[in-house]
Structure 1
């Protein structure tokens, strides 16, 4: 859900800005900032490369990467409590006044200290990266003349929507960390069959991407139908993969995810280095091909 978190926040932020009467260009800018904030909680995967370096060579696979990353992934950085505090810190940081920035840094230091005491040095280090990422995004927002209140609102949108997107694909994050209160105890099960559950979660991810793409296309004055080329229908051939690939599950999904996403190349222009290439058309056609491929696989598997 890496991409999904950011794109969902982008769509919500941009559409809300447009609904409030801002220009199309400004709405896109605010959506981008919201999306960046939504990606910040996944700064916790910085642990994975270091964990792999000290781990066994056999872990150097996609699944091994995630097994290592999950040591700290969906931990403190996915807390609604920490997210709210960090959104306040981002708003204070964007005021550019010295007292406000000192207060912002104090909040960041407090978050790191609490995490370190409760969860150890690795979690504290991850929180340092999390705080730094949020303040860097706030700095970027300031460079785009976004007001402190708007920065704080966009940070809240991004940081607080992110954890809920993980309910379908992993263990529920500690929503109320550092408090020992469980808001959601188990993963939301979309289907008892592991493969059908994965396909349903993938469908949610695709729907999120489509929402973001539609938002951008709409704000740029286009329509989706004029950007999809007929060759996207070639994705239907992916149905044959059900005969050759092991049935994917959340625990073993890399072969499915990477192979179906690879079909996005269908959207690539025949002459990519020529002048006049419509990259928006390329993205939309590629996404349509991936969507058709996923639907074809689901039908062949019997999930639909």
Structure 2
């Protein structure tokens, strides 16, 4: 759900900005701000390389990497309480008045202090990165002349929406950190069959990406139909993968995910310069369509064999 976090927030905020009467350019800009903030909670992954160094005697594998990362992952950085504080502090920093800047610094420091008191210096160090990343995005938005109100709203939506997206793929976040209150106890299963669940989550992710593309193209007044090429149907051939790769689940998804994402190469097609400025959108949309067709074809094949 890494990509979906940002694109979902982009689509939502761009839509709200449009409804509120913002110009197309401003709506896109605010959507980008929200999308960037939606990626901020995952900066806690910076702990993984440090943790791996500390565990260098072990074999480095995906299980070890994620096991190390999950020591702090989906903790403080995924809290809607901490997210709200960061959004408010970033918005306060957007106001040049001295009092607002002091309040903003107080908010930033309080986030780090909470992490240090509750979970120690390692968590505090992760929160320093978390705060710095949020401040950097806020500073970029300020230079783009984003209003304080819209900056707060975009940051809040991006930060708070993120942990809910994780409910389908991983363990539930510590939503109300630092309070010892459990909001959600387990992952949300979309289907009792683990493979169908994975396929449903993957299609949900693709749907979120499509939603963002629709939002962007409408704001830019671009026709998706003109960007989509018939070669995308080649993705249907991925149905044969049901006989080739091991049946995937959330815990064994990498081979399925990486192999199906390889279908995006269909978007490149024959053109000599597929990533030239005037062809990038065509490459992206056609490639995404090929992946979507492939996912649906695989799901149909799996359902038929099942």
Deviation at 1:54, TM superposition (A): 3.0
* Residue matched to 2:170: 170
In 2 relative to 1, CA 144–130 (structure 1 residues): closer, same or farther, beyond 3 Å?
Answer: same
Distance 1:276 1:103 in 2: 43
- Tell whether 2:297 aligns with 1:296: yes
Distance 2:91 2:190 in 1: 37
- Tell whether 2:284 aligns with 1:283: yes
Distance 2:59 2:250 in 1: 17
Deviation at 1:163, TM superposition (A): 1.0
1:59-100, Cα deviation, whole Å (9 max, x unpaired): 534444323222211111111111111111010111133332
- Tell whether 2:224 aligns with 1:199: no
* Residue matched to 1:86: 86
* Residue matched to 2:4: 4
Whether the 8 Å CA contact 2:166–2:173 is kept in 1: the answer is: yes
Distance 2:302 2:211 in 1: 26
Deviation at 1:235, TM superposition (A): 0.5
Distance 1:194 1:88 in 2: 39
In 2 relative to 1, CA 240–59 (structure 1 residues): closer, same or farther, beyond 3 Å?
Answer: farther
In 2 relative to 1, CA 50–192 (structure 1 residues): closer, same or farther, beyond 3 Å?
Answer: same
1:131-170, Cα deviation, whole Å (9 max, x unpaired): 1111111100001010112111111111111111011001
Count of residues in correspondence between the two structures: 304
User: Structure 1 residue runs of 4+, over 6 Å off?
Assistant: none
* Residue matched to 1:77: 77
SS in 2 for 1:186: coil
SS in 1 for 2:199: helix
- Tell whether 2:74 aligns with 1:48: no
Q: Equivalent residues in 2 for 1:1-304 (5 A)? A: 1-56=1-56, 59-273=59-273, 277-302=278-303
TM-score by length of 2: 0.94
Deviation at 1:230, TM superposition (A): 0.5
Distance 1:65 1:200 in 2: 26
Deviation at 1:273, TM superposition (A): 3.0
Distance 2:240 2:57 in 1: 33
In 2 relative to 1, CA 106–59 (structure 1 residues): closer, same or farther, beyond 3 Å?
Answer: farther
Distance 1:53 1:253 in 2: 26
* Alpha-carbon RMSD: 1.7
TM-score by length of 1: 0.95
Deviation at 1:119, TM superposition (A): 1.4
Deviation at 1:252, TM superposition (A): 1.6
